Amino acid sequence: MTKGFGFEVIKTAGAARRGRLSTAHGIVDTPAFMPVGTAGTVKAMMPESVIATGAQIILGNTYHLMLRPGAERIATLGGLQRFMNWPGPILTDSGGYQVMSLAQLRVLKEEGVAFQSHVDGTRHMLSPERSVEVQHLLDATITMALDECTAWPCDEATAIKSMELSMRWAARSRAAFVNRSGYGLFGIVQGSVYPSLREQSAMALTAIGFDGYAVGGLAVGEGQAKMLATIDSTIPHLPREKPRYLMGVGKPDDIVGAVVRGVDMFDCVLPTRSGRTGQAFTSRAQINIRNARHASDPRPLDGSCRCPACRNFSRAYLHHLVKAGEILGAMLLTWHNLTYYQDLMASLRSAIEEDRFNEAIDRFRVEQDQGDIEPA
């Protein structure tokens, strides 16, 4: 395994873990949420604003960055951290999901995926080796193995074929990865919602040997119950001493449910995308600031929140910004949502450390069940 890249489980509460991930670009306290900076920017945020929310690690994407501005160009400019002025660790998605969901004229074969760019129509081949190479050029702190993300619904025969291909690609990704102190490579467990396939995938990845293990192929429409059941059937087969990453999740309730089951890392576009569409996450669930009832409301979005949107502005002002299409509205709501997510993760870490995890989970669920119920 890679020297200088380490994970320590500091304390547990049932299956939930309070951990610390050490990397070449800094420490990540877990459970952790990674804001998504797909194309070299967390949308509507300056890097220092992302840091102010409490984020220690962000996510970038191989597919988007290899198409524009190009991994080789970023490498000549000093790597992704320097390019986007982000001082901390960066995990890069392998690009497999985006090839399946965005690219045109896809041809899947053993070598990799041939596709046409959705940006300019140019032809590309994304193989495990090329994916790892692009991530190396980006100087990604954490590189993800290339996999095929199965769609939903997915029958078992299709899931078997896809999972076995992903495991062959995982071995090739491992072979292509250049070990450097403080850098890591994660494998991705596949197998749709079928417990036996998830077990086979986890065992295959463990035999190859990775610095961390991701649970992929979820949050694609299967619903929360199936997602949590799949996590239950996967986590017991993953090494305890390695970080566990649930890809593309998600809603606060999904994250809390996964932390309860022993997941350490998360990413999702939801808090940033919601911020750009007038949606705000608060301690009392979700608010649509576009609603007319906020037009004359002098209260903050969330009286317990430390973000600039809540400290300095009213719901009425935020409503005005969003209805008027002002960029500041998207900036403030995104800052708020990312702060909410980071504070949620910090509260889970503290609860595990202080032996009050069950009480914290119960309180979270009561607050979420209340919805947006506040005095007028």
How is residue 90 written in tokens?
Answer: 């960066």
The single residue of 93, 147, 211, 254 carrying the catalytic annotation is: 93
How is residue 295 written in tokens?
Answer: 């037009």
CA–CA separation, 5 vs 102, rounded Å?
33
Q: If you write DSSP's letter for every residue of 321-371 in order, what string do you get?
A: HHHTT-HHHHHHHHHHHHHHHHHHHHHHHHHHHTT-HHHHHHHHHHHHHH-
Closest residue by Cα to residue 145 from 154, 155, 161, 134: 134
**297 is annotated as an active-site residue:** no
Closest residue by Cα to residue 335 from 314, 310, 316: 310
CA–CA separation, 61 vs 11, rounded Å?
32
Alpha carbons within 13 A on the beta-carbon side of 139: 19
Q: Assign 273 to helix, strand or coil.
A: helix
Question: Residues near 348 by Cβ (< 8 Å), separated by ≥ 6?
Answer: 16, 31, 256, 259, 357, 360
Task: Yes or no: say if 348 and 259 are a contact pair by the CB < 8 Å rule.
Answer: yes
Q: If you write DSSP's letter for every residue of 100-135 in order, what string do you get?
A: HHT-EEEEE-SS-EEEE-TTT--EEEE-HHHHHHHH
CA–CA separation, 3 vs 351, rounded Å?
31
Question: Would you give the end-to-end CA distance of the chain in angstroms?
Answer: 57
* Distance set, CA 56 to CA 19, 32, 293, 330 (Å): 14, 8, 36, 22
CA–CA separation, 57 vs 50, rounded Å?
10
Question: Residues near 344 by Cβ (< 8 Å), separated by ≥ 6?
Answer: 33, 252, 255, 256, 364
The single residue of 147, 267, 297, 302 carrying the catalytic annotation is: 267
Residues belonging to the active site: 93, 267
